[in-house]
A and B are shown apart, each in its own frame.
Chain A
Amino acid sequence: EAEVAQSPRYKITEKSQAVAFWCDPISGHATLYWYRQILGQGPELLVQFQDESVVDDSQLPKDRFSAERLKGVDSTLKIQPAELGDSAMYLCASGLGGANTGELFFGEGSRLTVL
């Protein structure tokens, strides 16, 4: 069964360091999403891609976060410099887009701890 792949599963870093997360969506899925989930809360959208284009990055802290999906397939989310408040689970999800009735498929997430 096709799954959304994410790496690393766990990352511990010191504040002011750079960190990057990678996501490989399900093959053929046009839309890709990065969500941030703080412990005990619901996921919040950081960025949404349609193929290689950004559709929504209104909640992405652009002074320190960047995201790209250069060939419209896999994606990288980068944080530089990391801050203590960035400690969270970073979830990647993908979907068919277009006429899709809304189901998103999630990866297992990348848990970031900033010390």
Chain B
Amino acid sequence: AQTVTQSQPEMSVQEAETVTLSCTYDTSENNYYLFWYKQPPSRQMILVIRQEAYKQQNATENRFSVNFQKAAKSFSLKISDSQLGDTAMYFCAFMRKGAQKLVFGQGTRLTINP
């Protein structure tokens, strides 16, 4: 079974700063996807960024980028130039290719302060 661990329950930074959220996972699979999802207060969860395990290049989406270290089973999310709207719970998630179901970490509550 796969497990996803987020070791930072809460983080807080000032607006415009850069913040990195940590995630590690455990799997014996070789083909899988990793995700970061964002859950704003009282809003639905949305996809932030996705990484395919067979791709060595780290995924980027505007201010969001990942550091994917497959051998170390590490998948961190970097948010550059943080904005107030980035305040949310962030979940790291794993999906075995072909399984079509997400396994989530415990989440990190990120607060961006003005």
Contact = CB atoms under 8 A, between A and B. Distances in A.
Contact of B100 (A41, A44, A91, A97): A97
Interface string A58-86: 00000000000000000000000000000
Given A31-B100, A48-B100, A95-B100, A103 B105 contact: no
A91 B106 CA distance: 15
Contacts of B44: 3-4, 106-109
Interface of B: 4, 6, 33, 35, 42-47, 50, 52, 91, 95, 100-107
Interface residues of A, number: 27
B43 A108 contact: yes
A19 interface: no
Nearest to B105: A42
Which of A33, A43, A55, A100 counts the most B-chain CB atoms under 10 A from its CB? Answer: A43
A88 interface: no
10 contacts: A40-B107, A42-B6, A42-B106, A43-B104, A50-B100, A101-B50, A101-B52, A102-B50, A103-B50, A107-B44
